[in-house]
Amino acid sequence: MSSTVTLSCLRKIYDGNHVVKGIDLAVAGGEFVSLLGASGCGKTTVLRLVAGLETPDEGSIDVGERCVCDAALGTWVPPEDRRIGMVFQSYAVWPHMSVLDNVAYPLRVRGERRPERRARAGEVLALVGLGDLGARRPAQLSGGQQQRVALARGLIMEPDVLLLDEPLSNLDAKLRIRMRRDIRRIQQETGFTVIYVTHDQDEALEISDRLVIMDAGEILALGTPAEVRDHPFLSTT
């Protein structure tokens, strides 16, 4: 149910700019790790590299026992085959599908039958507090509700690894606190591995097993919330 994620010497260059500068990181199975940093520090790029939406210029990524990507060997597993779920900052809900169909989509991809996947989608929607909105179109939902649809779609896959890219950024403060506790609870119940990108240090400190503080494409610090709490970088941001 949960996989380790290992990044080795990961490097990404855009038009001569080194966006990710040789990162090494080992995430344990079932661990909740946050990538924390200001915008432009490369944290989202790391996430997209793990997802497979970007290809690294150097280095390799292993998920569990499987090498999904190795620049030197030319190994490459496309994102759809990595059994990794992802929740995007901009929700990425599909406007042409109902809320229920949005959430059930990963099951449809897997070829599950319609009644089963609808039932399961209903359950997950209830989990994120949208139990009665399945028939709606995303356009009829508020921003916060759409974000929860996106989260439900990530959860329903029961992935080995779930990547979350600032999934709470558009929620109001109260809801944000409730949702991050829910995420944490669900993760602990099901035990999948999470890599969580955020620029909100309180959020990161509260929710994570370990934090990675990033700046300019490099890892500045790595440790449990207690270990990094006093890192100078945090107080400056």
Partner 1 sequence: MSRLGFWVAAALVVIVGILPLARVAWEGAGDGWWDVVLDEESRSALVATLKLALATTALALLIGGAFAWLSMRTDLPGRRVLRTLLTVPYIVPPYISAVAWINLANPQVGLLNVLLGEGVLNVYSFGGLTWVLALSFYPYVLLTVRAALENSDPALEDAARMSGAGTWRVFRDVSLPLMRPALATSGGLVFMATASAYGAPALLGAPARIDVLSTRIYESLTSDLDGLRQASALATLLFGFALVPLLVRARRHAVVSGKASRPSVVRLGRARFPVVLGVWSFVLIAVVLPALAVCGTAFFRIAGDFSFDNLTSENFNVLQRREIRDALLTSVGLAVGAATVAVVLGGLVAFLAIKTRHRGRGLVFGLSAIPLATPGTVLAIGLILLWTRPIDLRNTVWIMLIAYVAKYVALAARAIGEGLGTIDDVLSDAARMSGAGGWLRLRTIWVPLVLPSIVAGWFLVFMPSFSELTMSLILAGPGLDTIGTRMWELQEYEGPTAASVLATVVLGLVITSNIVLRVVSRGRYGI
Selected binder of partner 1 within 9, 13, 67, 92 (CB under 8 A): 92
Q: What distance, in Å, lies between the first and last C-alpha atoms of the chain?
A: 36
SS3 19: strand
User: 106 or 134: whose CB is closer to partner 1?
Assistant: 106
Q: Does residue number 15 form part of the binding site for partner 1 (CB under 8 A)? A: no
| CA-based radius of gyration for the chain | 18
SS3 231: coil
* Region near partner 1 per CB under 8 A, out of 9-17, 105-113, 124-132, 226-234: 105-113
The 131-170 site mask, x for binding partner 1 (CB under 8 A), equals: ------xxxxx-x--x---x--xx--x-----x-------
DSSP secondary structure letter of residue 68: E
Identify the helix (H) or strand (E) that includes residue 75.
Answer: strand 75-76
Residue nearer to partner 1 on the CB measure, 95 or 232: 95
User: Strands of 210-215's sheet, edge to edge?
Assistant: 84-87, 161-165, 193-198, 32-36, 210-215, 218-223
Distance CA 211, CA 225 (A): 6
Minimum gap (Å) between residue 80 Cβ and partner 1: 5
Tokens standing for residue 94:
């599909």
Q: How many beta carbons lie within 10 A of that of residue 142, not counting itself? A: 10
Residues 183-212 that bind partner 1 (CB under 8 A): none
Is the Cβ of residue 37 or residue 52 nearer to partner 1 in the bound state? Answer: 52
Stretch that binds partner 1, among 28-36, 46-54, 119-127, 188-196 (CB under 8 A): 46-54
- Footprint on residues 55-84 left by partner 1 (CB under 8 A): 78-81, 83-84
Tokens for 92, please give them. Answer: 């990425």
Shortest separation between residue 133's beta carbon and partner 1, angstroms: 13
Given the rule CB under 8 A, which residues bind partner 1? 51-53, 78-81, 83-86, 88, 90-96, 105-106, 108-110, 137-141, 143, 146, 150, 153-154, 157, 163
